[in-house]
């Protein structure tokens, strides 16, 4: 593998990477070449600069995959703005928080989504407009040339749930995103003739990198918002897809289908993140795509991606997280603050240029996760202390042990228990509640609510369906007369977690 170039550039230069006439973006009604991609990025950037002529201002998007959502990461960066992509699955309460917290000056979205927002959800200083109106207006804009931005300037804020509280914004620079693209394109071996099917949300760092790494390599991207897993298999056959990224729950569904022969034949690589692959799922994927290289990966939004397992080791080490990706230094630090010995459990600490710039306007939570790198680090500076417990084997391969925090990871989504609990209490159907994650063969973890209240489950579920996105909906609701308390008088989450896991295993 050639050594990847460690010199970051302004993010919008990715539009310049491909050969002019080669396909870059396969949309529903047309395919844009790299020449056309460059032109449209330049015009959209010029229009954005006219609309929001303030360096560093935030521009949010809340729309399905399409021309706008694919171009905005580059166009906003070229205009000197900070892109805030909002997950289309979120409901109005979460969106209102993100718009207000980020201080966005412009919100571009699909009319149906914008129509769900209520008075006060969009601050007076933020203008909301339909995505097609923005695209139409940009067609006649004066194009902006490729920028000469400092790669350390902010380019995006990606909102992710924390272990407590509402979604928090992770600040990513041009350098973070550029080097992430270079790193992934390098170890995946992406090339000009590759076609990536982008099935993951573009508000997700893993999803956004589908675009950026493929364009860095000069390949093309076909964005897809699928309704059923069958849509994915059909799209792979239609576009001759060579690269497919997914999370474990989708892989489970895809391995249950009969794949068209042409979709299997074109596939060169499969990538997984957002949760660990089981040994059974690895076997099924290897059997379904015997010629494709399978890349299990581990990452966190605060540092994008940390490790990958070399495909040559997947059959013999199916449960390993692998080793550090290019531009990442991964240390396992014990409770004594020192690098652990082989086989000894410790915290995964990520050092290097992929480390984000902290949480937007949240110094307290930034200080909890972004700390000085261990003295053994070659990079030094700031590191991400993940809170995840891992072990490093004698051969250097890493293995996941468990999570220190209370996050629930379901279907590739990191879910804050507190955010669900706030919605439950606001519904009026509960006096006390705790949301816990339990093992689930399809989701990785499923949400279970333990609730003290009147017992109106139908009313509670209706309220949650109204206020929370689908991936936060509880699988089970357990009603109790009293909640277990710890010595400090707080709900004993560890006891609840253990009890729910015990019931799950019974």
Residue pLDDT, tens place only, 460-482: 999 999 999 999 999 999 999 98
**Cross-strand pairs, 348:** 332
CATH match for 10-225 among 2.30.30.110, 3.40.50.980, 3.10.580.10, 3.30.300.30 = 3.40.50.980
Read off the tokens for 483. 């909640």
* Tokens 């909301």 found at: 128
pLDDT tier, 382 (very low <50, low <70, confident <90, very high otherwise): very high
Position 2 pLDDT exceeds 90 = no
- The tens digit of pLDDT for each residue in 61-91 reads 999 999 999 999 999 999 999 999 999 888 8
The ranges assigned to domains in the chain are: 10-225, 408-505
- Return the half-sphere exposure (C-beta side, CA atoms, 13 A cut-off) of residue 370: 22
> Three-state SS for 60?
strand
* Alpha-carbon span 296 to 280, nearest angstrom: 14
N-term to C-term CA, the chain? 48
Output the CA–CA distances (angstroms, integers) from residue 445 to 282, 451, 498, in the order listed.
18, 19, 14
Please tell me the CATH code under which domain 408-505 is placed.
Answer: 3.30.300.30
Other beta carbons within 10 Å of 56: 10
With contact defined as beta carbons under 8 Å apart, do 58 and 82 qualify? Answer: yes
Output the CA–CA distances (angstroms, integers) from residue 19 to 12, 15, 219, 258, in the order listed.
16, 10, 9, 36
Read off the tokens for 363. 């110094």
In this predicted structure, what is the pLDDT of residue 414? 79
Q: What is the pTM of this model?
A: 0.88
* Alpha-carbon span 303 to 411, nearest angstrom: 20
- The tens digit of pLDDT for each residue in 386-395 reads 999 999 999 9
In this predicted structure, what is the pLDDT of residue 164? 46
pLDDT tier, 162 (very low <50, low <70, confident <90, very high otherwise): very low
pLDDT tier, 1 (very low <50, low <70, confident <90, very high otherwise): low
Average pLDDT on 121-133 reads 97
Domain 10-225 identical in fold to domain 408-505? no
Question: Which residues, 6 or more positions from 216, have their beta carbon under 8 angstroms from its beta carbon?
Answer: 14, 17, 181, 182, 185, 190
- 33-47, 213-227, 442-456: which has the minimum mean pLDDT? 442-456
Position 157 pLDDT exceeds 60 = yes
- The tens digit of pLDDT for each residue in 408-455 reads 889 888 788 888 988 998 899 998 899 999 989 889 999 999 998 888
* Alpha-carbon span 347 to 492, nearest angstrom: 24
């Amino acid at each position: 593998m050639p050594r990847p170039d460690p010199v970051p550039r302004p993010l919008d230069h990715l539009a310049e990477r491909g050969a002019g006439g080669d396909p870059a973006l396969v949309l529903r009604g047309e395919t844009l070449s790299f020449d056309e991609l460059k032109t449209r990025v330049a015009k959209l950037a010029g229009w954005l600069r006219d609309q929001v002529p303030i360096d560093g201002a935030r521009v949010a998007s809340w729309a399905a995959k399409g021309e706008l959502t694919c171009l905005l990461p580059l166009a906003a960066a070229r205009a000197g703005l900070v892109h805030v992509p909002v997950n289309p699955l979120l409901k109005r309460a979460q969106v209102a928080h993100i718009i207000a917290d980020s201080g966005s000056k412009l919100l571009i979205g699909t009319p149906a989504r914008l129509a769900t927002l209520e008075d006060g959800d969009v601050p007076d200083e933020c203008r909301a407009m339909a995505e097609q109106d923005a695209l139409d207006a940009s067609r006649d804009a004066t194009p902006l040339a490729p920028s000469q931005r400092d790669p350390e300037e902010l380019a995006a804020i990606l909102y992710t749930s924390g272990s407590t509280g509402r979604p928090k914004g992770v600040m990513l620079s041009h350098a973070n995103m550029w080097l992430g693209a270079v790193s992934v394109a390098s170890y995946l071996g992406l090339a000009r003739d590759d076609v990536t099917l982008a099935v993951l949300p573009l508000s997700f760092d893993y999803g956004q990198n589908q675009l950026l790494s493929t364009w860095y390599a000069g390949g093309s991207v076909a964005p897809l918002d699928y309704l059923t897993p069958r849509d994915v298999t059909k799209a792979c056959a239609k576009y001759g897809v060579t690269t497919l990224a997914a999370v474990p729950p989708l892989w489970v569904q895809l391995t249950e289908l009969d794949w068209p022969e042409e979709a299997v034949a074109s596939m060169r690589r499969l990538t997984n993140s957002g949760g660990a692959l089981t040994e059974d799922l690895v076997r099924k994927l290897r059997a379904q795509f015997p010629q494709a290289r399978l890349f299990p990966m581990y990452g966190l939004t605060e540092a994008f991606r940390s490790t990958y397992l070399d495909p040559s080791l997947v059959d013999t080490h199916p449960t390993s997280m692998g080793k550090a990706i290019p531009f990442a230094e991964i240390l396992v630090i014990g409770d004594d603050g020192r690098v652990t010995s082989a086989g000894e459990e410790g915290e995964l600490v990520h050092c290097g240029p992929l480390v984000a710039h902290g949480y937007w306007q949240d110094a307290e939570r930034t200080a909890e996760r972004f700390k000085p790198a261990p003295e053994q680090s070659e990079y030094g500076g700031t590191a991400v202390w993940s809170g995840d417990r891992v072990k490093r084997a004698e051969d250097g391969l890493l293995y996941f042990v468990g999570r220190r925090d209370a996050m629930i990871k379901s279907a590739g989504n990191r879910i804050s228990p507190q955010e669900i609990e706030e919605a439950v209490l606001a519904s009026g159907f509960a006096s006390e509640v705790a949301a816990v994650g339990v093992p689930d063969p399809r989701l990785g973890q499923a949400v279970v609510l333990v609730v003290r209240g009147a017992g109106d489950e139908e009313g509670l579920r209706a309220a949650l369906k109204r206020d929370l996105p689908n991936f936060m909906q509880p699988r089970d609701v357990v009603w109790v007369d009293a909640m277990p308390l710890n010595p400090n008088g707080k709900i004993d989450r560890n006891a609840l977690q253990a009890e729910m896991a015990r019931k799950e295993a019974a």
